[in-house]
Amino acid sequence: MGEHVLLKNKKAYFNYQILETYEAGIVLTGPEIKSIREKNVSIDESFILIRRGIPEILNMNIKKYEFANNVNFDSTRNRILLLHKKEIKKILKQVMLEKLTIVPLKLYLKGNYAKLEIGLAKGKKLYDKREVIKKREIERKIKKI
């Protein structure tokens, strides 16, 4: 029962410094999971909030499954994430005390279930991002030579 990675959020790794990661399940409907299996999903602009002790992912765009007849299908609805209570309390505590952000890092299938790897992250400063770009360009030049 291995993991089958569907997509990674490369923007999150560029814009944030990832401090800790967690595995979360997602509450989905039937057509949504079928659409995810066909990779008709995007987590680039999505983020995670904890409201009333329940973690939710916002702006996760799942395109409508073409063979489903969902008349009122909302592709960007808020979806509940499944985590243990201890994990939720720990994440919430760190978010409040250290001013961290919760970002989705990758979406994958584990058996028949869609899982989301989420990360506690601290935003990078502009000069840190520029430094990463410079290092990347230098490595590319070295590889060409």
- 73 CB burial (10 A radius; 0-12, 13-18, 19+): middle
pLDDT band at 1 (very low <50, low <70, confident <90, very high): low
Burial 85-97 (b: 16+ CB within 10 A, else e): eeebeebeeebee
- Please give the CATH number for the structural domain made up of 3-144: 2.40.280.10
Give 85-129 pLDDT, tens digit per residue. 999 999 999 999 988 999 999 999 998 899 999 999 998 888 888
Instruction: Please report which residue ranges of the chain form alpha helices under DSSP H.
Output: 10-15, 30-37, 85-98, 126-144
Give 60-70 pLDDT, tens digit per residue. 988 888 787 76
pLDDT band at 71 (very low <50, low <70, confident <90, very high): low
pTM, to two decimals: 0.81
